[in-house]
Structure formats: C-alpha cells, structure tokens
Structure 1
Amino acid sequence: MKIIVPMAGRGSRLRPHSITVPKPLIPVAGQPIVHRLVKDIAKVLKQPIEEIAFVLGDPAWFGDDVVASLETLANNLGAKASIYRQDLPLGTGHAIMCAKPSLSGPSVIAYADTLIRAEFDLDPTADSVIWTKQVNNPEAYGVVKLNDKQEIVELVEKPKDFVSDQAVIGIYYFKDVAVLKDKLQQVLDENVTNGGEYQINDGIKRMMADGKVFKTGTVSEWMDCGNKAITVETNARMLGFLKADGDEQLIASSVILDNAEIIEPCFIGENVKITDSIIGPNVSIGHNSVIDNSIVKNSLIQTHTHIKNANLDEAMIGNHVQYNGNFTKVSLGDYTVLE
C-alpha cells in the first residue's frame, strides 16, 4: 500500500502561523498535522505501508528541514519516502500527477489539511473508496450521490437540492491508482480545467464513466485546520480523543511545575516550565516554553515561547514568541514580541 500526500499549498487562511511554517507542519496536540493524518490513515488501512509520496511546493518554502521531517515520518512507519514538487498551484489533479512515478498499485491519496478518526475495513469489491463524513449541512460541501447498491455514481459540489448528507473529506483509496493516473493524464492532455485548475474529480468522473465501482468509507470524526479558530477547536477535540485512547504520553516527564495546576486534557512538551499558573483544559504547549503567572485554556502555544501575566482563551501562539500582557483571543505568529 502507498499513501500519496499533496501538500504544496502555503495555507494562507492560517496566517500568520503559516508564514514561517507550512500549514501541514504546524503541530496540533503535539504533532504536525500531516504526521497525525498519515499515522491515522495507516491505522485504518491495517496493512504495511510500502511508500509515502509527498508533493511539496517551492523548496525555498518546503526546505530541507521539511523533507527531513517527512522522511522520518515515513521511515517510522516502515515506508520509503518519496519527495515531489508542484511548482505551480494548478489544482488537486495536477498535484497528484506531480507524483506520477509513484502512481501504481493500491494507494490512498490524502490532502494534508484535515485530521480524522475512523474505523472501517476497505471494501474489497470496490475499485475505489471515497472517504466521507455525515454532515448536517450538505449544501456547504461536495457530496457523493449513491445508487440503491450504495455505490457512488456522482460527485456533486455544494448541491442546492438534497443529494446526500455524505461530504467528501479529501481522502481516497484506489485499488490501482494507475487507473486514476491514466484518466488524469487525459484531463491534462485535453486541458480540462475548473477555475483554471486541474481537479481530481475530473479523473474520478472518467473512472465512473468506465464502470469502475466506487464505495464510501465513512469516518466518525473529521477535523479541519483551515484557520486559527477551527485549528484551536481541532486541537481541543484531538486532545480529548488522545486522552481517552491513552496511547500517547501527553505531558512530558521533564515538565517543571512550580505552584501550577494542569487541567487535562493537555499536551505539554519537553522542558516546559510552568510557574504560578493554571493550564487547561484543551491546551497544547510546545517544548522549551515557559508559562509564568498566567491562566491558559483552549489554546495552542508552540515551541521556545515565553508567556507571562496572561489570561488566554482560544489563543494560537507561534514559536519563539515573547508575550506579556492582558489580551485573550490572540493569534501571534513566530518571533512576535508583546511586552
């Protein structure tokens, strides 16, 4: 099995945090978004991962440190890491085709801007499985249309009339992804675009027209990381899941507490010092940070950051930040100083 991860976008909706760190590498509940996504997909697949192909953007932005992080992720899952580049933002279909040498055999394609919780078996009768989530407002999403055999027969973007309540979340399984590759090559050769971009849906629709069988794989949780508010919410939800699972050590043994209280669930990284403060619930703090005389809840704080005299709620604070003040719903990028 292979996993293909297009992640070349810069994540403009998550600025200022994505100005210095690519959005898929921003930690949520202590781990980068793309790391959590890939690991969760591997759990669902329940089979060895042979290769993980990452499609990155400009090397000036997705540099050697990003590549090293992704290679470590793949190696820890027993897989080979392949790195490809998408030089121009020409759409989801184009991004997949940038990984053309890896497009063969059974594969999952997953866009690196969401997190999931899922437990299901891939349908062996399906040529493809499109992962979906039941939603209350399907008119706001791209949804699947099903026939009486519960096979997907159409993809409908933001339907005005009810089609189904199963929203497409951007994760796909293909029994042989080479079939999709051939269809997407046709899309590129014929210059079939939507909004000036080549889309994966145009390749999928051609597979459907050839009679390929598409089924749904429904996830129980679908968490977005599109902007600051949603990312803070996703951090809280993920911490709750991880606390219930009990599989990860969320509070490092090197954390120093001095007249401080932690209200779980929280993630607190290595060598964090917390003094005269109340932390939690739903707080993530990156390694080598210091929290002094503060109350912090429902917030994300990255590494090497010093927070003092703060009362924070629904805050997202980057790396190497110096913060001393009385603000609450803040969003501070890397190397910001407020004193």
Structure 2
Amino acid sequence: MKIIVPMAGRGSRLRPHSLTVPKPLIPVAGQPIVHRLVKDIAKVLRQPIEEIAFVLGDPAFFGDEVVESLTELAQDLGAKSSIYRQDQPLGTGHAIMSAKPSLSGPAVIAYADTLIRAEFDLDPVADSVIWTKRVNNPEAYGVVKLDDNENIVELVEKPESFVSDQAVIGIYYFKDVAVLKEKLQEVLDENVMNGGEYQINDGIKRMMADGRVFKTGTVDEWMDCGNKNVTLETNTKMLGFLTSDNEEQLVHDSVVLENSNIIEPCFIGAGTVLRNTSVGPNVSIGKDCIIEDSSVKNSLIQNQTTIKNANLDEAMIGSYVKYNGDFAKISIGDYSILE
C-alpha cells in the first residue's frame, strides 16, 4: 500500500501562521497536521505502508526542514519516502500527476488539510473507495450520488437539490492507482480544465464511465484545519480523542509548574514553564515556552514563545513570539490579529 499526499498549497486562509510554516506542518494537539493525518490513515488501512509520496511546492518554502520532517514521518511507519514538486498550482489532478512515478498499485490519496477519526474496512469488491462524512448541509459540499447497490455513480458539487448527505472529504483509495493515472493523463492531454485547473474528479468520472466500482468509506469525524477558528475547534476535538484513547503522553515530564495548574485536556510540550498561570481546558502548547501570570484556555500556542500578563481564550499564537498583555511597545508582522 502507498499513500500519496498532495500538499503544495500555501495555506493562505491560515495566515499569518502559514506565512513561515507550510500549513500541513503546523502542529495541532502536539503533532503536525500531516503527521496525524498519515498516521490515522495507516490505522484505518491496517496493513503495511510501502511508500509515502509527498507532493510539495516551491523549494524556497517547502525546504530541507520540511523534507526532513516528512522523511522521518515515513520512516516511523516503516515506509519509503518520495518527494515530488508541483511546479505550478494547476489543481488537484495536476498535483497527483506530479507524483507520476509512484502511481502504481494500491494507494490512498489524501489532501493534507484535514484530520479524521474512522473505523471501517475497505470493500474488497471496490476498484476505489471515496471517503465521506455525513453532513447536515450537503448543499455546501461536494457529495456522492449512490445507486441502489450503494455504488457511487456520480460526484455532485454543491447540489441545489438533495442528492445525498455524504460529503467528499478529500481522501481516496484506489485498488490500482495506475488506472487513475491513465485517466488523468487523458485529462491533461485533452486540456480538460475546470476553474482553470486539472481536477481529480475528471479522472474519477472517466473511471466511472468505464464501469469501475466506487464505494464509500464513511468517517466518524472530519476535522478541518483551513482557518484559525476551525483549527482551534479541531485542536479541541483532537485533545478530547487523545485523552479518551490514552495512547499519547499529553503533558511532557519536563514541564515546570510554579504556582500553576493545568485543566485537562491539554497538550504541553517539553521544556515549557508555567508560572502563576492557569492553562486549560483545550489548550495545546509547544516546547520550550514560558507563560507567566496568565490564563490560557481554548488556545493553540506553538514553540519557544513567551507570554506574560495575558488572558487568552480562542487564541492561536505561533513560534518565537513575545507577547505581554500589558504591552505598550509592540512589533507585529503582516496579517497579525489582536482582538
């Protein structure tokens, strides 16, 4: 089994946090988004992962540190790491074809801006499985249309009338991804574009037209990381799941508490110091931070940041930040927000 991860986008909706760190590498509940996504997919598949292929953008932004992090992720799962570059932002289908040498055999394609919780078996008769989530407002999503045998027969984008309540979440399984490669090559050769881009759906529709069997794999939770507010919601949900699973240590042994308390669930990284501070619930703090004389809840703070005299709720703060709630002299970069 292979996992193909297109992640070349700049994550503009998550600025300023994605200005210096690619969005899929931003930690949520203590781990980068793409790390959690790939590990959760591996759990669902329950079979050895042979290769993980990552499709990155400009090397000036997706540089050596990004490649090193992704290589380590693949190695942790016992898989080969392959790095490809999408040289132009020409859509989901173009991104997949940027990894053309890896497009053979069984594979999962997963776009790295979402997290999941799921427990299901891949249908053995299916040529492909499109992962979906039941939603209350299907008119806001791309959804699948099913026939009487529960086969997917059509993909419908933001339907005006009811088609189904199963929204496509951007994760796909192919029994042989080479078939998708063949169809996407046709799309590229014929210059079939939607919205000025080559889309994965155009390759999938050609597979359906050839009689390939598509089934759904419905996830229990689908958590977005597209902007600040939904990322904080995802952080809260993930902390709850991790606390229930009890599989990860959420507060590192080296955390220093000085007249401070932690209200679970929280993630607090190595070397962080809390002085005269209350943290939680639903807070993730990275490593080597110092937080003094503050209250922090429902927030996400990255690494090596210093916070003093603050009362934070629903805050998202990056790395290497110095924030004093009693500020007078400040230096704030582009796209920053103080509310």
The TM tier, using the shorter chain, reads: over 0.9
- Please state whether the residue corresponding to 2:188 is helix, strand or coil: helix
Q: Call closer, same or farther: CA 1:292–1:194 in 2, change over 3 Å.
A: same
Q: Report what 1:162 is aligned to.
A: 162
Q: Report what 2:286 is aligned to.
A: 286
Q: Report what 1:174 is aligned to.
A: 174
Matches of residues 119-198 of structure 1 in structure 2 within 5 Å? 119-198=119-198
- Please state whether the residue corresponding to 2:19 is helix, strand or coil: helix
- Please state whether the residue corresponding to 2:47 is helix, strand or coil: coil
State the alpha-carbon separation in 1 of the partners of residues 337 and 211 from structure 2.
Answer: 58
**Partner deviation per Cα, 1:116-164 (whole Å, 9 max, x = no partner):** 0000000000000000000000000000000000000000000000000
Deviation at 1:333, TM superposition (A): 7.3
**Partner deviation per Cα, 1:285-336 (whole Å, 9 max, x = no partner):** 0000011000000000000000100000000000000000169xxxx879x8
State the alpha-carbon separation in 2 of the partners of residues 113 and 159 from structure 1.
Answer: 23
State the alpha-carbon separation in 2 of the partners of residues 274 and 69 from structure 1.
Answer: 28
Residue identity matched to 1:232: L
Deviation at 1:252, TM superposition (A): 0.1
State the alpha-carbon separation in 1 of the partners of residues 220 and 19 from structure 2.
Answer: 32
State the alpha-carbon separation in 1 of the partners of residues 145 and 71 from structure 2.
Answer: 38
State the alpha-carbon separation in 2 of the partners of residues 225 and 171 from structure 1.
Answer: 15
State the alpha-carbon separation in 1 of the partners of residues 75 and 108 from structure 2.
Answer: 17
State the alpha-carbon separation in 1 of the partners of residues 333 and 47 from structure 2.
Answer: 39
Q: Report what 1:310 is aligned to.
A: 310
Q: Report what 2:215 is aligned to.
A: 215
Residue identity matched to 1:31: Q
RMSD between superposed Cα atoms in Å:
1.4
State the alpha-carbon separation in 2 of the partners of residues 84 and 250 from structure 1.
Answer: 33
Deviation at 1:239, TM superposition (A): 0.3
State the alpha-carbon separation in 2 of the partners of residues 223 and 48 from structure 1.
Answer: 25
Deviation at 1:78, TM superposition (A): 0.1
Normalised by the length of structure 1, the TM-score is 0.97
Residue identity matched to 1:277: T
Normalised by the length of structure 2, the TM-score is 0.97
Q: Report what 1:116 is aligned to.
A: 116
Q: Report what 1:75 is aligned to.
A: 75
Q: Report what 1:300 is aligned to.
A: 300
- 1:265 maps to 2:271: no
State the alpha-carbon separation in 1 of the partners of residues 107 and 187 from structure 2.
Answer: 20
State the alpha-carbon separation in 2 of the partners of residues 178 and 61 from structure 1.
Answer: 30
Residue identity matched to 1:34: V
State the alpha-carbon separation in 2 of the partners of residues 337 and 180 from structure 1.
Answer: 43
Residue identity matched to 1:97: M
State the alpha-carbon separation in 1 of the partners of residues 213 and 195 from structure 2.
Answer: 28
Aligned residues: 333
Give ranges in structure 1 of 5+ residues lacking alignment. Answer: none
Moved beyond 2 Å, runs of 4+:
none
Q: Report what 2:31 is aligned to.
A: 31
**Partner deviation per Cα, 1:224-271 (whole Å, 9 max, x = no partner):** 000000101100000000000000000000000000010000000000
State the alpha-carbon separation in 2 of the partners of residues 214 and 293 from structure 1.
Answer: 56
- Please state whether the residue corresponding to 1:170 is helix, strand or coil: strand
Identity %, equivalent residues:
79
State the alpha-carbon separation in 2 of the partners of residues 337 and 191 from structure 1.
Answer: 41
Deviation at 1:337, TM superposition (A): 12
**Partner deviation per Cα, 1:141-199 (whole Å, 9 max, x = no partner):** 00000000000000000000000000000000000000000000000000000011000
State the alpha-carbon separation in 2 of the partners of residues 178 and 321 from structure 1.
Answer: 46
Residue identity matched to 1:60: A
State the alpha-carbon separation in 2 of the partners of residues 65 and 312 from structure 1.
Answer: 31
State the alpha-carbon separation in 2 of the partners of residues 30 and 102 from structure 1.
Answer: 30
Deviation at 1:96, TM superposition (A): 0.1
Q: Report what 1:59 is aligned to.
A: 59
Q: Report what 1:9 is aligned to.
A: 9
**Partner deviation per Cα, 1:34-81 (whole Å, 9 max, x = no partner):** 000000000000000000000000000000000000000000000000
